[in-house]
Amino acid sequence: MEKAKNAQLELIAGTHSKDGNSFCGDTYYFAQDENSFVCLLADGLGSGRYAYESSHAAAEIVEQEWQAETVEGMMDLINKAMFQKRGAAVTLFKIDFETRKFEYTCVGNIRFYLYGPDGKLTYPLPVTGYLSGRPQRYRMERFTYESGSKFLVHSDGINLLNTKELMRYRNPEQIAAELDTVALKSNDDATFLVGNLL
């Protein structure tokens, strides 16, 4: 598992490929400067090398463009990069630490949850389908968070029954440990990122 911690957030990410395959079809990327944080999770269609190529192409675009581009602009570039590739489900969001705002979009079956200290669970519904290079509309969502909020994003290789219960009393380490156990049992590529906003 990969861990990152600073004054604004702590984050734990974990990923497992299907059947121990050397290529994982899921790719995640995150980065931060003093004012903002960006996070991508891409799930290439199917599994193996071609799924990896699609999801990795998405991560490369975010790595190059996140400080210059909007979330919607990056999704557009990712979509173009999927042309003649297998395609990918993609979740992408940016957090502005000063305004405490999320800017979020998703196409495909990747789940995102934001759990507030008051017990409120925000669960934006994704647009069905996947990015393939064809013209695509994105539903941009914006929401605010309070200090002490936790977020979770995971690919469809992780099956959770009660997300609210999972996030309610546990810290990121405990949530990640539980998700890692679920991911290991999955018969698909399985990836998660869990964060605590300070």
- Residue 130's pLDDT is 97
Average pLDDT over residues 55-61: 98
Q: Which one, of 44, 172, 177, lies nearest residue 109 by Cα? A: 44
Do 160 and 153 contact (CB within 8 A), yes or no?
A: no
119 class by beta-carbon count within 10 Å (0-12 exposed, 13-18 middle, 19+ buried): exposed
- Residue 137's pLDDT is 87
Residue ranges covered by each domain of the chain: 2-197
Q: Is the pLDDT of residue 150 over 90?
A: yes
pLDDT confidence band for 123 (50 / 70 / 90): very high
Determine the distance from the C-alpha atom of residue 126 to the mean position of all C-alpha atoms in its chain, rounded to a whole number.
Answer: 12
Query: How far, in Å, CA of 22 to CA of 35, rounded?
Result: 36
Q: In this structure, which CATH number among 3.60.40.10, 1.10.1040.10, 1.10.10.10, 3.40.190.10 belongs to the domain 2-197?
A: 3.60.40.10
Do 49 and 28 contact (CB within 8 A), yes or no?
A: no
Q: What's the token pair of residue 37?
A: 């944080």
Give the CA distances from residue 180 to residues 63, 114, 138, 158, in Å, rounded to whole numbers and listed in that order: 25, 19, 30, 9
- Residue 94's pLDDT is 98
